[in-house]
Structure 1
Amino acid sequence: MLKINRHVLSNGLRLVHSQDDSTQMVALNVLYNVGARDENPEHTGFAHLFEHLMFGGSVNIPDYDAPLQLAGGENNAWTNNDITNYYLTVPKQNVETGFWLESDRMLSLDFNERSLEVQRGVVMEEFKQRCLNQPYGDVSHLLRPLAYKEHPYQWPTIGKELSHIANATLDQVKEFFFRFYAPNNAVLAVTGNISFEETVRLTEKWFGPIPRREVPVRNLPQEPRQMGERRLTVERNVPLDSLFMAYHMCERNHPDYYAFDILSDILSNGRSSRLNQRLVQQKQLFSSIDAYISGSIDAGLFHISGKPAAGVSLEQAEEAVCEELKILQTELIAEHELEKVKNKFESTQIFGYMNYLNVATNLAWFELNGQVEDMEQEVERYRAVTAEQLRTVAQQAFGRESGVVLHYKSS
């Protein structure tokens, strides 16, 4: 069991902490409660653009990386549709450098045309490489708007289209920053070889003076229930035909979330999983196949994607997947098969807790999405899922009328 400590600053910043004396390092993880779902539909890709801008210099520190490297530290960041996450690790004797750097860029960035131009160029290049010039790179741009008609999950994190980033102005960027990058819209998680008292002292010293901001109340449109199958066929210059299927699933805090996660592992986690055993090895209908959940805070998607084997049509491949889903809807999963998947979740969590940086990321995520103590209940929640619940969830979720199917053909 982790010993978790909490402290809330007067400006609204939430601090969560767990000490780990087995390392000489400290991790700082700053999670901002802003993702692609918070963007204006006409100005998408901003959360991801900020992931880059945050390294372009802050109000008092022209270069973020140099001081951290001198202190023996490393850093990185990632964005998704729900959150933007920044983290660094630093030797414990240089930990104050980390607090200084992170607090300054929360206070304000060094907004200037040159920095914006550089980072905009980097993001546009990334968009071209990942989405326009890579085989199957546009799948997310095709599948998301097919699945979502109202909710802003209908565009990927990188943005709806290249022009949204190309046309981003300094004023728009500033406005986005001061609306969302606020102490009262963030969680700071600190783990590693540092006491709670020292953590509170440094957090109050560096983050305490940052003023709270007016963060808008999130009021996103709910996605209406899908009443009929949605299909799309595209032809592209790709080496192989590919099948992409998705079904609507519940939000992250729903009890069925754990059932969906287990179902994705029953289908496709390891060599002994059902899709791999039956459709790849036995029937040889696919050369590769995968099932996974989006894991998003709001109602997400259960994905199945695969490349049919030579001579197998996309229609045959899709039918084979539907047959496997039908088995989940009609037959109870055997106890030993379910137990194996649950054991895997438990071991993953135990190993995850051995890494102080993993712990920091998880502390921040669970604090944002409910309360940090929920982290300790995760294994129990997976353990509580029954074969009956899995069958019921499969019956409710995997109907043809709620499916989204993309046939991606090689031209």
Structure 2
Amino acid sequence: MEATEVWTLASSALVLIMTPGLALFYGGLVRVRSVVNMMLFSVSAMGVVGVLWILFGYSMSVIGDGDGWFAGSPLRDFGLAGTDPAEFIGVGFGAVFAMITTALISGAIADRVGLGSWVLFSGLWATLVYFPVAAWVWGGGWISQLGTWLGTPDVIDLAGGTAIHINAGAAALALALVVGKRQDFAPGAHRPHSIPLVTIGAALLWFGWIGFNSGLATDGATAGLILVNTLGAPAASILGWLAVDALRARKPGVIGAASGAVAGLVAITPAAANLSPGLALLLGVIAGAACAFAIEWKFRLGFDDSLDVVGLHLVAGVLGTVYLGFFAFDDGLFTGGDGGLLLVQVISVVGVAAYSFAASLIIAFVVKATTGLRVSAEVEQGGIDAAVHGEEAYALDRESQSAARP
């Protein structure tokens, strides 16, 4: 086995742990009565998407001869029957990307959606949105061909600024609009119940993100640049977020710092192999500051994105992808290019965001018509965990307290 294959195999394990890390991150951000529900959304996405990826998702994400520009054929290689086992490391690497992308969306609907509705949405969304968009970006589809068609540099998206973060962020906005607001939606009404869980989750995300960004690196120099930028951009983003809080006379906190790190990680995802470390730091500061402002807009615009998937992933994903059009090595507008790269980066952003939002909106309405989508007002008010799942995140502590009473 070659060294690059070993590293991709190891990176797959790093990315796999990101989805449980996301479960901890999201679980800490919600109220105590819906922790189990929120964490189960991430875990169930691993089950649903992992199975679909092996059955037909991988086949759809690779556009072969005669398949057209939209997506590959789900029947050509059903169940990986026609896949050379030599390709299986790449299949596994793609699977863990599909899992984390789908799980990201769930943060927008915390506290008010049942598991059955989420499972149905996640399966339909992966099939109709993620698999085709992955084909567009990495599988020979129209985004990967855009530069050839327009006579410009090719679109740059190392690890999913479009396919992962803009895709999930646009879907989260559509789903949140269909689900509707929580009963007591207002600034300050929903405080995170566990800062330690948020911190552990953010740490696991950052840990896994190194494999996320560098898993397909073919040489040490490229891998080293990706590593440095994947460390530097989120570090700078933490400072950018905290600086905005300070300017707004807000007390600094771990939630803001962790969110800043995630914003920087999202922004550097498409760009880690194509920016100098100094420009990656600048991107991190911009992303942290921009996302610190962006998460407040849900209250002004009136949509309830519970855990700020739109404010973090959509906003930072757009920033990182478009930023390359200005500063990417050789082809950025300010680094020797003529604007061609900026053009195709913007087209890719608009194309993915528009398709993901529209398709996700339709899927959400279909699920709503099928399952009702949202739990009853009584269950939402009383807590989804006990009513729907029969589990509570901290039931052991309650039992211990009961046993200690005389």
What range describes the TM-score normalised by the shorter chain of this pair? under 0.3
TM score, norm. by length of structure 2: 0.26
Q: Which of the pair has more CA radius of gyration? A: 1
Structure with more helix by fraction: 2
Structure with the higher fraction of residues in strand conformation? 1
TM-score of the aligned structures, taking structure 1 as reference length: 0.26
